[in-house]
Structure 1
């Protein structure tokens, strides 16, 4: 799916990837995300903990941003959203992109087909991408940098709770 997004970008079609994980360390998948960035794919990552990918390096990862959110609740969601030339595909899974998970365990990743559920997952991920209270950005030195914005404050865990409460 990353290769498909690369092909879309090379053909001037919409191409983006959003991934939410707790840990990102597996070198082949990191290299593939670098390839995507170099092809012009916009890659937005939410990585809570370990992250070996270096974002924002000209010519290597300038199209990659990484946000880290640590708040009251420990989150374990793994979400993968591929633009797919304007026909978004959403996947969820059980594993982080770590060597032990990729090479030494049996993990599950599955597509989300229901349009309403896809929309809800996308809404929740967009709230997390908009977080400017508990979130930090990783810079090209893998340092946590506070999110600077003049926009209204968004604390994603609170906003997700409000969003889901309204749906209940």
Structure 2
């Protein structure tokens, strides 16, 4: 709570982060403070795990992905053997499936009845999974020119709910559209990595899943 208080105090002063003393956030990831460096560290940890022969995986859901430093780090992770699954609704400058560069990256786009704005970042961390939610797309404007915030999810029940929602999107072979190595949308394929032959329309499945959770509360 102290970090939130410090953040709101800073915002109320309307100061340029580049012209003020940095706040040492420990839990929150705040753009123009520690967000970029922390995401680089989290990807780097997966790279180290992969190189040491440990399980390593990253799953990210965003609206837009264009920031070059983070994309470059994802390529480095792919080359190290980290399995990377991206769900990117709109702009995507990351190129998946290129041998020697991004063969361990898959990307899918889901556009349906419901306009989705969730940003979810899941890092395997050798089985001690870390999940972050937040407001920030990985775009220059979000990372370098705005104050955007991501926060860790620690409650086990909430982490499980987020995992289930993302799982439904990764299993979607009805509305989800894979992106190929030419950055083109391709025909939906039931064998797309992460899919099943009977994959659901994820938006409908998520609606039913959340409705069931609420009914049981």
Corresponding residue SS for 1:14: coil
Q: Name the TM-score, length of structure 1 as normaliser.
A: 0.98
Moved over 2 A (4+): none
What residue in structure 1 maps to residue 204 of structure 2?
158
Q: Give 1 or 2: higher helix fraction.
A: 2
Matched, 1:143 2:202: no
Corresponding residue to 2:101 among 60, 67, 70: 60
Gaps of 5+ in 1: none
C-alpha contact 1:22 1:76 (8 A) present in aligned 2: yes
Q: How does 1:62-141 map to 2 (within 5 A)?
A: 62-141=103-182
Q: How does 1:34-45 map to 2 (within 5 A)?
A: 34-45=75-86
Distance in 2 between the 1:69 and 1:16 partners? 21
C-alpha contact 1:133 1:153 (8 A) present in aligned 2: yes
Corresponding residue SS for 1:132: coil
Distance in 2 between the 1:101 and 1:152 partners? 37
Please report how far the alpha carbon of residue 149 of structure 1 lies from its aligned counterpart in structure 2 after TM superposition. Answer: 1.3
Q: Name the TM-score, length of structure 2 as normaliser.
A: 0.76
C-alpha contact 1:135 1:146 (8 A) present in aligned 2: no
CA-based RMSD of the aligned residues comes to: 0.8
Q: Larger Rg: 1 or 2? A: 2
Query: Number of residues paired by the alignment?
Result: 168
